[in-house]
Structure 1
Amino acid sequence: MEGLKFSPKSKKVLMLLVILVLTPFAPELLLFMDVAGVEVAFTCLLIMIKPMKLWVECQVAKIKEFSRVIKLAIRQHPVCDARVFAGHYFAFSLTLLLTSSLLVSSSIWLPILVMGKYIA
């Protein structure tokens, strides 16, 4: 346990480093540090962490919900159906073989990708 004890000076240096890393996200810490010192600025940082944490959790929840909706949309897309995929893949391959044009061959995939469930 002796190794975990820090001297007061090393604590201040550690607090200062944490504040300097987080200053781009909370520039008001510089004002606190200038007026009242590192200890007050670090205390204000600890007070500000909870709203930041709640905001981050809200953003993570939104991202998870959005990714869930995207996964569901991809699973229900006609291209994920084996019959539709096989038919379009066969037509794409045949057109690519006959025309040697990737642009013309891709036009077979375009309607199903754009229109989605309205075609199939």
Structure 2
Amino acid sequence: MGAFSVVTAPEETCPHCGSRIRRGVQFKYGALWANRYAVGDPVEWGVGDAGEPARLVQVMGDPEPCPVCGDEPEWVYDIVVRDGVIVSVERGTSDPYVGSDDYVVVLEQ
């Protein structure tokens, strides 16, 4: 995936081992300098930027392996950024990103 940032997803149950976990989700939007985020954090800009700031965007995120068993899920996450702040991280599908080179869908300029 190259340079990316990571946001921590809300607690979930690993479908492989059944453990309650908080998984990291890698994404490319904003400054790509190994930034670590949580829901509610503003996205940083200025170093190796990906995408353009917009009022409302949805970004595809790739899940990191389960920190307990190492299972790698086959789904993606939708990361929603409103007014520069990460507002949600939820399991999603790759459908909205088909045809997009940077895995960012601008919903509102």
Query: TM-score, normalized by length of structure 1?
Result: 0.18
Task: Give 1 or 2 for the bigger CA radius of gyration.
Answer: 1
Q: TM-score, normalised by structure 2?
A: 0.19
Where is the helix percentage greater, Structure 1 or Structure 2? 1
Q: Which structure carries more relative contact order (alpha carbon 8 Å, separation 6+)?
A: 2
